[in-house]
């Protein structure tokens, strides 16, 4: 399997933390030297391991924000 290269450009925020030290975060990440995108996924405390996540362009993140603003919580 090919190695995945990533660079966290900006740490946006932590959504939650587990007792094991993993944190669900939203960050701006460049994957394999490509244009940075917003990314939501679990990370180990040392950032050596990551869980599956979702990557969004700025336009997709703005659309998600609009949708979330319509939800009555």
Residues 14-68 pLDDT 10s? 999 999 999 999 999 999 999 999 999 999 999 889 999 999 999 999 999 999 9
Q: Residue 31 has what pLDDT? A: 96
User: How far apart are alpha carbons 2 and 20 in whole angstroms?
Assistant: 28
pLDDT value of position 3: 84
Q: What are phi and psi of 63, to 5 degrees?
A: -65, -40
List, in sequence order, every residue forming a beta bridge with 40; answer none if it has no partner: 26, 54
Mention the CATH class of domain 6-69: mainly beta
> What global pTM score does this model have?
0.88
Q: What count of other Cβ atoms lies within 10 Å of the Cβ of residue 61? A: 17
């Amino acid at each position: 399997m090919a190695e995945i290269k990533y660079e966290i450009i900006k740490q946006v925020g932590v959504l939650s933390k587990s007792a094991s030290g993993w944190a669900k975060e939203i960050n701006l990440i460049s994957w394999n030297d490509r244009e940075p995108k917003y990314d939501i996924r679990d990370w180990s405390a040392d950032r050596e391991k990551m869980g599956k996540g979702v990557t969004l362009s700025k336009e997709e993140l703005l659309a998600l924000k609009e949708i979330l603003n319509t939800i009555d919580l």
